[in-house]
Structure 1
Amino acid sequence: MRTQRDIYGNLNNEVLHQANKGVTINEIHNVYQPPKSLQQQWAAHSYHGSEEHNSRAVINRYLGYWDANPATLIPLSPRDSAPLYVEMMGGAAKIMAKGKELHDQGKYREAMEILNKLVYAEPTNQAAKDLLADVFEQIGYQKESPSVRNSFLAAAYELRSGIPGGASPKSSGPDTIRAMSTDLWLDFLGIRLDSKKAEGMKFVVNIVTPDNCEKFVVEMSNCVLTNIKGVQAKKPDLTITINRSDLEPVMMGTVTLDDQIATGKAKLDGDRKPYDQLKGVLVQFTPDFEMMPGTKAAQPTSPPAMSPFQQQEPGSSAGM
């Protein structure tokens, strides 16, 4: 217990000590080290976190993500900056040769620095991706923290083989969605909103769920969908009345809201247009976006066949 207390105390205090000496969020992971007395105790090792990650997190908590250098305030995206570096370094052949040399010398982080630029500049260059994967693998093997190690090894796999195909894993079931609060569901609809398609839309909708006595006002304004619990607009464009128990199968996708309207379990009062507009601007997410360039399948995954208001099963954050 004392070791746990001291490692987190040292992490917090020493990182802030270094920050007060001018060490930035982009440097602290190369500067912070626990004292030897803690390094020698297994309970202070990086089995469930990492010094590199957590030291940066401390600075981010107190000072934010920016290191105060204007050059890093609005940097180019990697796909835009990488071609400049590759051109100035003399092209892919020279970078590959130097990267292989650094790899063979065991200077993996130096090799990673230049090869990552090449892969972003040339995402179809499989030789470059394979060499960067070799580098990631060696760095991963050296890491004690499972989360850090797996980050490198997973990226190495995807660089060599692409993003794994098949169905996305499901870590929850209908009970999880049923347990979601209505306002949380409405919040997620706001996240799923395609703001480009919602340009110019403006409406106010009241939602009433009589069986649990909840009321919401939902507003579309400036391409943003917001909701307030316990409030009703005096002059809404539309009022939707549906029992929470009848809304849950809509959230789970076993029926559509239109089905509930047709059977009388949901009632629309006012102008139906906002309801139809909202249905048309909601998107379903697919988890096949790439984190490393050139790893996504040539044929993108189609969005799942889901009704507009269906809530996709959230992933588990339990760490199991």
Structure 2
Amino acid sequence: MCKNPATDHTAAANRAVLDLLNFGDRQDFEDASRGFVATFEEDAITGAEGKTVFDLNRYAFMQGAAPDTVNPSLWRQGQLNAIHGLFTIHPRIHQIRNADISNMTLIAGDTGWIVIDPLLTVETARASLALANRHLGERPVVAVIYTHSHADHFGGVRGVVDQADVAAGKVPIIAPDGFMEYAISENVLAGNAMNRRAQYQFGMGLDAGPRGHAGCGLGPAAGAGSISLIPPTDTVYRTGETRIVDGVEIEFQMANGSEAPSEFMFYFPQFRALCASEVTTHNMHNILTPRGAEIRNTLGWAKYIDESIALFAERTDLIFASHHWPQWGTERIRGFLTRQRDLYRFIHDETLRLANHGHTIHEIPDMVELPEGLRHDFACRGYYGTLKHNIKAVYQFYLGWWDGNPSTYDCLPPAESATRLVRAMGGADAVLAEGQRAYDEGDYRWAAEILNKLVFAEPQNAAALKLQADTLEQMGYQAEAGTWRNIFLLGAQELREGIRPSTVNTSNPDVLFNMGVGMALDFLGVKFNAAKVTGDFTVLLNFSDSGQSHLLAAQNGVLANTTYHDGTADLVLTLTEAAFFQLLGQIAGVEDLIGQGILSMQGDATKLGALFGALDAFDPNFAIVTP
């Protein structure tokens, strides 16, 4: 479907950005190119059957001045994130950057590589390690460090290490306290909804180009390969813990609840180098991600950075992170950390200052702009997280979603409210005319709001769908944040073309088999639909390998699970944990598992069919911009 050019209003808004920021400052470009060794020989990293997992030239179009259809500030960030390949940032520290949405860092130990964050996918991780070995000399992987519990920092682990070597104790995997719990939970209980929303956040399905995908701000784009997980073998619990890994000393600082619920930073005394993980990067980060997750503790985040300054700043010559490019020089690093600390502290304090004056979650975002000392710092700009979204997150963290107005406490559902509002405004033609007037005047926020009402009242109204798509498109063109651009442009695309089937799946075998029985049973409860059940029933699961047992009880509209029971049930299953996950993941059927001797049943076998028959299948492509 043809995409529109920028309107005069959008072109003017984007030109105004050129006067706000110092685009003549090329320090970031020097840092992002420093130490370049080589890049990949091929234009793309491929996987099974030659499928492209990551197109290294996808953003080659981002050359020269920004077109009217891309915010110049985002264009600049995209140019930096398009600089890809292998870089030596210290004689014993190397990075592969922009071959996925995150970085892989390699520390040269006495005998091999210490791998920090093996990217999102197996394919990109394998290719990145091969690139380093080809140009720096072949070395075995002797350890892996997961900086935190997000998939783009562990998903490629099977591309750099064999699980047999991990199991044998040859290759430790080091991670922060709580890693496995959060690595799994963020992708399971609300996984289907998160995956769908992630399509919007990352612009999955958008073609790259001046009128399409222009990066994600935090990095270019997410790899489209296989996501894996090998559990850690060494957990760090407290700030101040140290490890000697292949002759390299590492000092750890815990940062749980900052950018991730399980995260640490760490320092290399021998190299005077600090790994900031994803706590400080070259953009404002998300306090609450658009895809959805636990809200992050903004005040705690600022205090972690303050602690980093106290612990490491005076003895650090190099800082690098899980995204973006490094920085060198003690004074520069201290200044960067200070501004990052103050950024999150300002968002926190200013939001609560205004909230305590009685302003609401809907009002405060339009009342605040960054102070002078932060506003002109590119590393504080909202390329991934944004000031408005983060203010709402802080408000929600302390006060919840309600703004305190009784009239908003029990609102009508969107489609019902929209139908009544359209009628009250004089019908579809009147709403469409108002939307067109707002669009023509460049009042896109109002146009989007009013046209959304018409779309939800009359989802088959072709004129409303078209004008709403045109409106969202202009909002995307003006957005400084890669995430906002993606959200608006994918919304426009779906209004025009419908929903493209998703390939996102975080419930892969590695995730499934590592989630643990307790979390798996909780997930069954999420999928349980009481309307599909006639009468109550119980199923007892006796796990022959662990000796544990769990009772599932379908009653009172829920599928309760408990370890407290008297051993009786309508159906008793005796099975191994592996058999349970094979059954749950539809990898093997009941008869197959019975034949293998790892499952047996006593009691009413029909209850197993009743159990699985009551579980909803979630649609990964549910509607967002239409009802």
The verdict on a shared fold, with TM-score over 0.5 as the criterion, is yes
SS class of match (1:48): coil
Structure 1 residues 104-253: aligned runs within 5 Å: 104-165=440-501, 168-170=503-505, 173-198=508-533, 201-229=535-563, 231-253=564-586
Which digits, 9 at most, give the CA deviation of each residue in 1:189-245, with x for residues without a partner? 1111112123x532333212122333222222212012235x443433332110123
Secondary structure of the 2:379 match is helix
Q: Deviation of residue 273 (structure 1)? A: 4.2
Cα distance in 2 between the residues matched to 1:31 and 1:78: 26
Q: CA deviation at 1:17?
A: 0.5
Distance 1:160 1:146 in 2: 21
Q: Find the counterpart in structure 2 of residue 96 from structure 1.
A: 432
Contact 2:385 2:481 in 1 (8 A): yes
C-alpha contact 1:192 1:284 (8 A) present in aligned 2: yes
* 1:257/1:184 CA distance change after superposition, 3 Å: farther
**Residue in structure 2 matched with residue 78 of structure 1 by the alignment:** 414
In structure 2, the residue matched to 1:20 is 356
- How far 1:115 sits from its partner (Å)? 1.2
Distance in 1, matches of 2:582 and 2:611, equals 19
**Structure 1 Cα separation of the partners of residues 346 and 574 of structure 2:** 55
Q: Distance in 2 between matches of 1:120 and 1:248?
A: 40
Change (3 A) 1:196 1:171: closer
The one-letter code sitting in structure 2 at the alignment partner of 1:204 is T
Unaligned 5+ runs, structure 1: 295-320
Q: 2-side partners of 1:112 and 1:70: how far apart?
A: 25
Alpha-carbon shift at residue 6 of structure 1 (Å) = 0.6
Contact 1:203 1:219 in 2 (8 A): yes
Residue of structure 1 aligned with 2:623, choices 280, 290, 297: 290
The counterpart of 1:2, out of the listed 315, 338, 344, is 338
Task: Write the distance in 2 (CA, Å) between the matches of 1:168 and 1:293.
Answer: 21
Structure 1 contact 206–233 (Cα < 8 Å) conserved: no
Q: Is this contact kept in 2: 1:241–1:268, CA < 8 A?
A: yes
Q: CA deviation at 1:170?
A: 3.8
* Counterpart secondary structure, 2:474: helix
| Counterpart residue number, 2:378 | 42
State the TM-score, normalized to the length of structure 1.
0.84
* Aligned 1:278-317 pairs, distance under 5 A: 278-293=611-626
Tell me, in whole angstroms, the C-alpha distance in 2 between the residues paired with 1:99 and 1:279: 47
Q: Supply the distance in 1 between the matched residues of 2:539 and 2:483 (Cα, whole angstroms).
A: 44
Q: Which residue identity lines up with residue 151 of structure 1 in the other structure? A: I
Task: Give the partner amino acid of 1:215.
Answer: S
- Alpha-carbon deviation of 1:124? 0.6
- Alpha carbons 1:132, 1:156 under 8 Å: kept: yes
Aligned partners of 1:219 and 1:225 also within 8 Å:
yes
3-state secondary structure, aligned to 1:204: strand
**Stretch of structure 1 that moved more, 94-103 or 62-71:** 94-103
Separation of aligned partners in 2, 1:274 and 1:254: 20
DSSP-derived class of the 1:211 partner:
coil
Deviating more after overlay: 274-283 vs 156-165 = 274-283
More displaced stretch, 210-219 vs 154-163: 210-219
Q: Would you say the 8 A contact 1:211–1:245 is kept in 2? A: no
Would the aligned equivalents of 1:204 and 1:233 in 2 still touch at CA under 8 Å?
no
- 1:230-273 Cα distance to aligned partner (Å, 9 max, x none): x4434333321101232332233221134323554211233334
TM-score by structure 2 length?
0.44
Q: CA deviation at 1:123?
A: 0.7
Worse-matched range after superposition: 34-43 or 94-103: 94-103
Contact 1:201 1:222 (8 Å CA) reproduced: no
Hey, what does 1:274 align to over in structure 2? 607
Q: Does structure 1 retain, via aligned residues, the 8 Å contact 2:539–2:553? A: yes
Query: Contact 1:201/1:223 (CA < 8 Å) preserved in 2?
Result: no
Paired position in structure 2 for 1:29: 365
Query: Does the aligned pair in 1 maintain the 2:540–2:567 contact within 8 Å?
Result: no
SS of residue paired to 1:79: helix
Assess, with a 3 A threshold, how the Cα gap between structure 1 residues 134 and 287 changes in structure 2: closer, same or farther: same
The aligned amino acid for 1:161 is E
Q: Which amino acid aligns with 1:227?
A: N
The size of the alignment, in residue pairs, is 291
C-alpha displacement of 1:172? 6.2
Contact between 2:472 and 2:488, CA under 8 Å: does it hold in 1? yes
Number of the residue aligned with 2:593: 260
3-state SS, counterpart of residue 33 of structure 1: coil
Distance (whole Å) between structure 2 residues aligned to residue 117 and residue 36 of structure 1: 38
Query: C-alpha root-mean-square deviation of aligned residues, in Å?
Result: 2.0
CA distance, structure 1, for counterparts of residue 559 and residue 506 of structure 2: 28
Stretch deviating more after TM superposition (151-160 or 275-284): 275-284
SS, match of residue 574 in structure 2: strand
Separation in 2 of the partners of 1:47 and 1:208? 50
Q: In the alignment, which residue of structure 2 is the partner of 1:301?
A: none
What is the identity, as a one-letter code, of the residue corresponding to 1:88? A
- Which residue is 1:58 aligned to? 394
